[in-house]
Structure 1
Amino acid sequence: MKSSNFLIALLLTGFTLQVSSQELTGKVMSFDQFMEIVKTHHPIAKQANLKIQVGEATMQQARGGFDPKLFNDVSQKYFNDKNYYSLIDAGVKIPTWFGIEVKGGYEQNKGNYLNPENNTPSNGLWYAGISLPVGAGLFIDERRAELRKAQLFQEMNTAERQLMVNELLFESGKAYWDWFEAYNIYRVYQEAVALANVRYQGVKQNALLGDQPAMDTVEAGIQMQNRQLALRQSKLDYDNAAAHLMVFLWADGTIPLELENGTQPEVNENILGKGVDPYYFAQRDTLLIKHPKLKQFQLKMEQIAIDQRLKREQLKPTLNLKYNALSEAINSTPFEEYNANNYNWGLEFSMPILLRKERGALRLAEYKMQEAELEYGNQTAEVLYKINSALNEWEATKDQLDIYTQTVLDYNRLLNGERQLFNAGESSLFMVNSREVGFISAQIKQIEILAKNHKARLKTTYSFGLLGEQ
């Protein structure tokens, strides 16, 4: 009986050493490799990059408000073989950031019935001057407001891109660690089934030799069946986790990819738990302010502030001053014989009496600012809660992992001790199996906590909105 028990114990111990020392024969895809593939090739990552291009296009459109413009106005009338009038006015207008519009051109008018005020020298008339708003529009106008808002929109799109990539990498990162957890649990059950099969074969051999009752083979068979059932469930979980992982695998954002045969995540023995990076505690307030979601609200409030400033400017009366220096065209050289006494000027004034439209628009802008400020405060509180929650989870899982690593070692000592007792004939297969069940459960729990630790680390970086920057 003792020799038979010794044989079984030797087989179990040897097989355990063999399984635990196996090397992976498939291709290993690390977490960093997987995340780089997602960040580079996933459609959402490609879509996020378009946000930058949209911002640049919006800026280009807004800058167009300051593009110089050529103009040419020709008006002629002929009737009964008579030239009633011919009015030609051509030139260029140049808007500036300071609200001043520079204008220059050439005017030539003639005809039998020309309005005297349109008379020009026979060679035509050169003019150059400015238009200056000294009332509404002096400090800000629609053109300047749109350009500044476009600059803020470009920054908002940069933050939006960061948020999209941040969300994508968080979801894909969780999928990797689910895959990692399912694969390593599957490995544990593979070993457990193999050990149960060795035990079953040993017990059956002993029963044939008459060293053990036949009922022991039934118990050993049930144990093997239970572990086979658990193995099949773990294989299902692993296959589903791999299928979910493939959702994030693309080539150039257009071609969905599948995992190559034999591709596996890293084994848990090669992955260490991660403690909380002190940088996150030291820079928490600074990182909170820079969070892309909060940055979007800050930029939105800046846009509203520009609208407020524009609405206040529109409470002023419209008062535009125009001045043009004039010079007769001689030898096709503009202003060759310029005289300071030759000019025209004008003053344009208008103002609504009640200003109800303008005052109403200003009040709406003020309400929008109050609404944005309240939402910003609420979003700040939510982001801060998520950050603190993630940091707490990260810290807790690292402590749990440290504790349970020791627990696994202790379970292993119990198992080895029980095998030694069994070898000496002082224990039973039931006790060895019981110790094995405890050891298997401890291994699985350790893998789950290890995966949670890395998810908590990922979640912390995500909560700070920094995944898109990595």
Structure 2
Amino acid sequence: MRKFILLLFLFFSFQWTFGQEVVQDTLRFQDFLEWMRAFHPVSRQADITLEMGAMEVRTARGGFDPLIYGNLDQKTYKNTSYYDRREAGVTIPTMAGVELLGTFEQNSGQFLDPENSVPTGGLFSAGAAVNIGQGLILDERRAALRQAKIYQQSTEAERLALLNELYLKGAETYWKWSESYSNMMAFEEAVRLTQIRYNAVKRSFEQGDVAAIDTVEAYTQLLSRQYRLQGLQNQFFVQSQMLSAFLWNEEEEPMVLQEGVIPQTLGSQDDFAINNEELRTLVGNHPQLRIADFELASLDVERRLKSQSLLPVVKLKYNFLVESL
């Protein structure tokens, strides 16, 4: 997959490095989080969970869509119409558990069963049906809708859980990157001071003030610190590549940090200090705890539905008949 160079001029602040002619770009921690939230695949996956919850509710609401049906039953033999039964109707379930009914029936024929006899113009009926036993409090349609709404609420908590995990890993990687940069800068300063010391010892030796062994000791210390600095530079490079794994563009393609980009340094312990009182309040709203609560709520709906199956099946139905409209 082709990688792109991250153009940090969009949202990075510029800081001048004194004694240098170049401008170093600082990737602030807050900007990093915002960029990761906007374009990281896991962040987009978290948003999709909300759509899944909405689709689940929409599917459950489909159980309350009107049901239109029709029936045609005919028998003709030797040009004789034995019977012709026609029926059409609609059933409308409601959230209250009441079904609204509407039918039209028109029957004819020489050998029509008397119980199917209706006026010549047909018979309209309108009525309602309600369960007064099993299904009075809760039925499968209403239970499915309640569970779908609970699932929709849980998808928000699942989304927050995914984002929290992403932020945790991203923040940990960012501050390791910042730590490696601070260590590298500290050793660059140490190498600079060691170089100054070595030059001073060397001049003192040339003037006869110190022994030759002192220059060897100073040079050995310089080489040791230069070696450690090289290791820290390699570590900073590795941490930069690890941070790049959290940077993606709008086309969902990975990006890499531009050379010369530096992290925000942690100025003091108070910059990102946690308020203990606020933490105690937020713990109760932790996404994982909320997900567990939603699972319990869904199980409670299922328990109540099963308890309804212990009741007898008693259905009250009323139809108002009209010969013609």
TM-score by length of 1: 0.63
Query: What does 1:111-190 correspond to in 2, within 5 Å?
Result: 111-190=109-188
Partner of 1:220: helix, strand, or coil?
Answer: helix
Identify which range, 47-56 or 248-257, moves more after superposition: 248-257
Q: Residue 36 of structure 1: CA displacement? A: 0.5
Partner of 2:256: helix, strand, or coil?
Answer: coil
Q: Name 1:294's counterpart in structure 2.
A: 289
**Structure with greater contact order relative to length (CA < 8 Å, sep ≥ 6):** 2
Assess if the C-alpha contact under 8 Å between 1:29 and 1:263 holds in 2.
Answer: yes
Query: For this pair of structures, how many residues does the alignment match?
Result: 307
Q: Name 1:199's counterpart in structure 2.
A: 197
CA distance in 2: counterparts of 1:192 and 1:206, whole angstroms: 21
Q: Residue 44 of structure 1: CA displacement? A: 0.2
Partner of 1:255: helix, strand, or coil?
Answer: coil
Assess if the C-alpha contact under 8 Å between 1:42 and 1:253 holds in 2.
Answer: no
- Which amino acid is the alignment partner of residue 194 of structure 2? A
Partner of 1:316: helix, strand, or coil?
Answer: coil
Which of residues 314, 319, 323 is equivalent to 2:314?
A: 319
Q: Name 1:273's counterpart in structure 2.
A: 269
Q: Residue 297 of structure 1: CA displacement? A: 0.9
More helix, by proportion: 1
Which of residues 221, 224, 232 is equivalent to 1:223?
A: 221
Q: Residue 207 of structure 1: CA displacement? A: 2.0
What are structure 1's unaligned runs of at least 5 residues? 1-19, 334-470
CA shift digits 1:382-431 (9 cap, x unpaired): xxxxxxxxxxxxxxxxxxxxxxxxxxxxxxxxxxxxxxxxxxxxxxxxxx
Query: What does 1:17-416 correspond to in 2, within 5 Å?
Result: 25-252=23-250, 254-268=252-266, 271-274=267-270, 276-278=273-275, 280-281=276-277, 284=280, 286-329=281-324, 333=325
Partner of 1:109: helix, strand, or coil?
Answer: strand
Distance 1:68 1:178, change over 3 A: same
Partner of 2:31: helix, strand, or coil?
Answer: helix
CA distance in 2: counterparts of 1:307 and 1:63, whole angstroms: 18
CA distance in 1: counterparts of 2:161 and 2:92, whole angstroms: 39
Q: Residue 259 of structure 1: CA displacement? A: 0.6
What are structure 2's unaligned runs of at least 5 residues? 1-16
Q: Residue 276 of structure 1: CA displacement? A: 4.2
CA shift digits 1:185-206 (9 cap, x unpaired): 1011111112212222232233
TM-score by length of 2: 0.90
Partner of 2:263: helix, strand, or coil?
Answer: coil
Q: Residue 110 of structure 1: CA displacement? A: 1.2
CA distance in 1: counterparts of 2:173 and 2:279, whole angstroms: 28
CA distance in 2: counterparts of 1:263 and 1:282, whole angstroms: 34
Partner of 1:250: helix, strand, or coil?
Answer: coil
- Which amino acid is the alignment partner of residue 289 of structure 1? G
Partner of 1:72: helix, strand, or coil?
Answer: strand
Identity of aligned residues (%): 36
Q: Name 1:460's counterpart in structure 2.
A: none
CA distance in 2: counterparts of 1:267 and 1:156, whole angstroms: 37
Distance 1:149 1:190, change over 3 A: same
Partner of 1:315: helix, strand, or coil?
Answer: coil
